[in-house]
Amino acid sequence: MEINLKNRIALVTGGSGAIGSFICAYLYRAGAKVIGSCHALDTPSAREMVKVCKEQGVHVEIEPFDVGDPDSAAAAVRNVEKNWGPVDILVNCAGITRDAPLRKMNHDQWKQVLQVNLDSVFNTTQPVIEGMLARGWGRIVNISSINGQKGQFGQTNYSAAKAGMHGFTMALAQEVARKGVTVNTVSPGYIDSPMIRAVPENIRNKILEGIPAGRFGEPRDIAAAVTFLCSEQAAFVNGANLAVNGAQFTSA
């Protein structure tokens, strides 16, 4: 099955992250014009993204903005549309963790995670949705998490935000399905990335034991799922939550 995203313009938030940069590369290889967002240009991850793209022959534009701030997100979308054209594909991939058991979690840890992981989805989707509906075509993919599906010790903030993302997906899919727009969630399991490497080694090893596939996922596992959901072929997949987790968590 060949996926052709030629002439499509894709905005990927968190485009400089481990998973986001692979999503950018996959969408680019499928033919899309890709704009990856990052929080600021002069950061190690943004520099790494530029380096990786160059090495892989992938051309991604970079748009720095704060996904947690509605004005910043709206201005960024306007800028993208002015420079490259209307956004056809939006992948909401920006995310952070601030892990702590609830009894030790402070309000800042709660607020930051909800703002960056969940408010961001509203902030970036609202400015693009009207255009997608008017043009009769759009793809929105929200990158949630296995921990939004099953919960995780130490992640009341993250699990709440990630579960909320899929609630958003299901509701918006119903609002836009008649107009050629799809809204889906991808829920990655534990993917080999700096976020997972930050988990204490003993806990990480225990998590690995619980993955029937016997390995952590790779960023390309997620990028392939996202690219499929952005394709013409996935036009009837709408409001779904696609788990990509090596059978670590299964549901009917």
Binding site for ligand CAA (CB under 6 A): 97, 99-101, 104, 145-147, 152-155, 158, 188, 190, 195-196, 199-200, 203
Q: How far is the CB of 99 from ligand CAA (least distance, A)?
A: 4
Is 190 designated active site?
A: no
Q: How far is the CB of 197 from ligand CAA (least distance, A)?
A: 9
Of 175, 185, 95, the C-alpha closest to 140 is: 185
Of 118, 112, 225, 115, the C-alpha closest to 163 is: 118
- The maximal CA–CA distance of the chain, rounded, in angstroms, is 51
Is 214 buried (19+), middle (13-18) or exposed (0-12) by CB count in 10 A? exposed
Neighbour order of strands in the sheet with 33-38? 60-64, 33-38, 9-13, 89-92, 138-143, 181-188, 241-244
Is 108 buried (19+), middle (13-18) or exposed (0-12) by CB count in 10 A? exposed
Q: Hey, what are 217's tokens?
A: 């996922």
Q: Hey, what are 102's tokens?
A: 């609830």
Residue 29 or residue 111: which is nearer to ligand CAA going by CB?
111
Residue 49 or residue 211: which is nearer to ligand CAA going by CB?
211
Q: How far is the CB of 6 from ligand CAA (least distance, A)?
A: 32
Residue 199 or residue 224: which is nearer to ligand CAA going by CB?
199
Distance CA 218, CA 26 (A): 13
Of 36, 45, 42, 33, the C-alpha closest to 13 is: 36
Question: Residue holding tokens 């720095």?
Answer: 64
Q: How far is the CB of 67 from ligand CAA (least distance, A)?
A: 17
- Catalytic residue selected from 26, 28, 158, 190: 158
Closest chain position to ligand CAA (CB): 154
Q: How far is the CB of 70 from ligand CAA (least distance, A)?
A: 24
Residue 91 or residue 146: which is nearer to ligand CAA going by CB?
146
Residue 37 or residue 248: which is nearer to ligand CAA going by CB?
248
Residues labelled catalytic: 158
